[in-house]
Amino acid sequence: MDAPTTAAATDTAQCDKCKKWWPRPKLTRCDTCFTKTCLGCQCELAGGLHSHVNDCFAFPNNPGVAFDPLLRPSLAEFSPRRGLLRPIQRPFTAIFERTWIHDRPRQDTFRLLIDSYRLRLHDAFLFEGQAKPGTIYAGAADSQGDFVQRYLGAAWERGLLPPWWTREALLQCRDVGMADLQFHSLRQQLTQAMVVDYYQDATFPTQLRLFAEDVLGMGTCLKSCRPCLDALVDMEDDEPGGTRIFDWNAYNTAYVHQDWERL
């Protein structure tokens, strides 16, 4: 299909894969990376639409949502889109200022501490082959001992915990991680894809990893997320939700495959 006439232009859009023009209902748009693919290209992919989901770690909306990136949903200004009581604007600026878990409801702070630890633990196991003693990766029933002693201890020593943090708060945080039948469990692993699925935010694995780097003083596989932080802060200075223009598709895929030539 060639480029549309002016009269039909408002009813069509271009597939980002095959570059052909299609009626909008025949295209599916990824809510975070804003790529649009036609049904034909989706069928050609191994795994269909799920191939893009696994590669992008962003979950698609159907064509009811505006295709123009300038018409992004207002929820994109806040992070994450779900999973916390109070999402925030400019999360990467908060990480840069070392206040990422400050000024939040206590339950949100506890969840972020737990999930940043769980993702870091999984990254260390997946990319470095580390099975930390006292964790589920070393055969323990849960990871609460390592979480409390090593991770929360390091966060306290580095001044990353909020001013209201006390011994009682530490125990409450541990109890959240040990509660049954909920997402933030110290008895279960946490992968990058699970993070995006739960929080509905392709930026969130990087937020968790950056905070864990601040806690532990290093990234996994000698690969730090830190070099991109200044650029992300600049994007947030330009507009709330500005980091949506960053190519999270390429970055998340490169990280999970540890293949930085993709960038």
| SS3 per residue for 241-254 | CHHHHCCHHHHHHH
Domain count within the chain: 1
CB-CB contact of 251 with 263 (8 Å) = yes
| Confidence at residue 256, expressed as pLDDT on a 0 to 100 scale | 81
CB-CB contact of 193 with 58 (8 Å) = no
| Confidence at residue 36, expressed as pLDDT on a 0 to 100 scale | 73
In a domain, 31, yes or no: no
| Confidence at residue 110, expressed as pLDDT on a 0 to 100 scale | 99
| Confidence at residue 55, expressed as pLDDT on a 0 to 100 scale | 45
Q: Per the confidence metrics, is the pTM higher than 0.75? A: no
In a domain, 45, yes or no: no
Question: Which parts of the chain register pLDDT below 50?
Answer: 1, 4, 6-9, 32, 46-51, 53-75
In a domain, 154, yes or no: yes
Helix/strand number for the chain, H first, E second = 11, 5
- The span from the CA of 166 to the CA of 175, in Å, is 14
| Confidence at residue 160, expressed as pLDDT on a 0 to 100 scale | 98
In a domain, 38, yes or no: no
Domain containing 162: what range?
77-243
| Confidence at residue 114, expressed as pLDDT on a 0 to 100 scale | 99
| Confidence at residue 20, expressed as pLDDT on a 0 to 100 scale | 85
| Confidence at residue 31, expressed as pLDDT on a 0 to 100 scale | 52
| Confidence at residue 102, expressed as pLDDT on a 0 to 100 scale | 97
